[in-house]
Amino acid sequence: MVDDATRKTLSNIPLLKTKCGPRDRTSWVDRLKEEYQALIVYVKNNKDNDNDWFRLESNKEGTRWFGKCWYIMDLKKYEFKIEFDIPVTYPTTAPEIAIPELDGKTAKMYRGGKICLTDHFKPLWARNVPKFGIAHAMALGLGPWLAVEIPDLIEKGLVKHSDEKDS
C-alpha cells in the first residue's frame, strides 16, 4: 500500500466524476475540467506544503501532457522531462507517464521511458475509476517512483546533476 504521506496527499485531491475518454468530445470537456480543477488543488496543496515537484501542461485538447519534474537530493535539484498521452480508454486505463531521458538507465522502466509503476497502482486505479485522474496518477505513480528510483540512479552515477553534466 501507499505510505501515509501519499495517502494524505491523495485524500486532499478532489475526486473526479465524469467517466469519459478523449473520444467523446462533449463529455471530455467536463472530464478535462475536473482534471484541471483537481490538478490545481493538488499543485496548490503541494506548494502550500513546500512540496512542489513538477510542472505540467497539456495540449489544447488535453490529450497530450508534458512538463517536468524534479527531485532534490544532497542540496541538488535533479530535473527530468516528463510526457504522457491520455489513452483512448481513459479513464479506465491509467496514463503511462514517461521520463524519456532515463530510458535504459533503470530496470523499472518500459521502453520509451515509461515508468514501471508498482503493483499496487494498477488495482488501486482500477478500483477508483472514474474517481482518479491525472493528479492522482502523478501523486500515486510518479511521486513514489521518483522517490525510490532517483536516489538509486544518482548513487549509481547514472543520473548526473546538470552542473556536472556540463562539466
Binding residues for another protein, rule: CB under 8 A, are 26, 29-30, 32-33, 36-37, 39-40, 43-44, 47-50, 52, 55-58, 60, 62
Cβ at position 35, least distance to another protein in Å: 9
Instruction: Tell me the C-alpha to C-alpha distance, in Å, between residue 93 and each of 42, 89, 124, 128.
Output: 21, 6, 11, 11
- Our CB check for another protein shows the closer of 9 and 58 to be 58
Closer CB to another protein, 39 or 153, in the complex: 39
**CB-count burial class (<10 Å; 0-12, 13-18, 19+) for 54:** buried
Residue 130: asked if its preceding bond is cis (omega within 30°), the reply is: yes
Active site positions, annotated:
116
Instruction: Give the largest Cα separation in the chain, rounded.
Output: 51
The residue among 54 and 125 lying less far from another protein, judged by its C-beta, is: 54
Q: Which is nearer to another protein, 62 or 121 (CB)?
A: 62
Rounded distance, CA 99 to CA 162, Å? 16
- At its nearest, how many Å lie between another protein and the CB of residue 156? 29
Strand 64-73 and strand 54-58: the pairing is: antiparallel
For residue 67, give the C-alpha cell: 512538463
DSSP-derived 3-state class of residue 158: coil
Q: Are 97 and 142 in contact (CB under 8 A)?
A: yes
